[in-house]
Amino acid sequence: MASQPEPPDRPERMAFERTGGSGTRLQVGIALVLGFVLAAILKPWDWGQPSVDTNPPGSAAAIAAARTSPSPKPTLDPRAVPCLTYSAWRAITIERTSGEEVHRWIVVDPVAATDPLDPGIPSVRVVAGRLDGMGYCAPDGAAAAATPTVYRITDGTAEILNEATPLSLLVPTGEHAALIFQPPQATDTWSPGRYVLKVLLGPVPEGGPGVPSSAWFAIDVEHAASDPIQADRPSPFSPPPSP
């Protein structure tokens, strides 16, 4: 019997399968690490819980107050007469009529003049039973270079009241306080008449270096007919009688 030929060899079928190896484990590890990092950042266990303020009590209010509170302003002495405006001139008087003390701030616009008899000097009229003090407030920037000169006009003649004996000022004065003269010595009130004030101002460019300009105005004092002068009534600025 003839031998049958052997069947030809069949080619082997090769199958490729994806197996879990070291690459898969590395990816899983990276995913876990990222998950822990995100959880630490987001903190999902705190969601829905009320927030806790870590600042000590009152610290927020103190910080807010420190940011908004303005710096304290200097306090004007209560005995001084304040200037109610810092942008214009005012003639100031302290009057006493019918037993009542009255402070007046009167609009005035001083001018330059050559002498106290200059007819162009503006004036304000004051009618009072007593005039315990008179003076002025100057606008900011019009600083006086010296003590103002006060003239009394009598029959066309000007007399400097504070030439030999300086007039006393109502104390205290200071920034934003009126400069007010008390009556001349040996008197307790400003008597009726015309008074001219000359205020020397600081140097100005048109005046040249060291040459002050001046501002002049007058106060015309009249006695209130309905309030007789009481010579025995002491001025509020007079020193107390000696024991």
Residue 167 placed within a domain: yes
Residue 98 lies in a domain: yes
Task: Let me know if residue 39 belongs to a domain.
Answer: no
Q: How confident is the model at residue 99 (pLDDT cuts 50, 70, 90)?
A: confident
Q: Is a pLDDT exceeding 70 seen at residue 176?
A: yes
| pLDDT at res. 68 | 46
The pLDDT of 195-200, averaged and rounded, is 94
* 198 lies in some domain: yes
CB-count burial class (<10 Å; 0-12, 13-18, 19+) for 82: middle
* CATH code for the domain of 201: 2.60.40
Please give the residue range of the domain that contains residue 152. 90-223
**pTM flag (> 0.85):** no
Q: Which residue has the higher pLDDT, 33 or 122?
A: 122
d(CA 121, CA 213): 15
Q: Is residue 73 one of the residues assigned to a domain?
A: no
| Domain-located, residue 127 | yes
**Of 106, 113, 74, 112, which is closest to residue 88 (Cα–Cα)?**
106
Is residue 48 one of the residues assigned to a domain?
no
pLDDT at 163: 82
Domains of the chain: total: 1
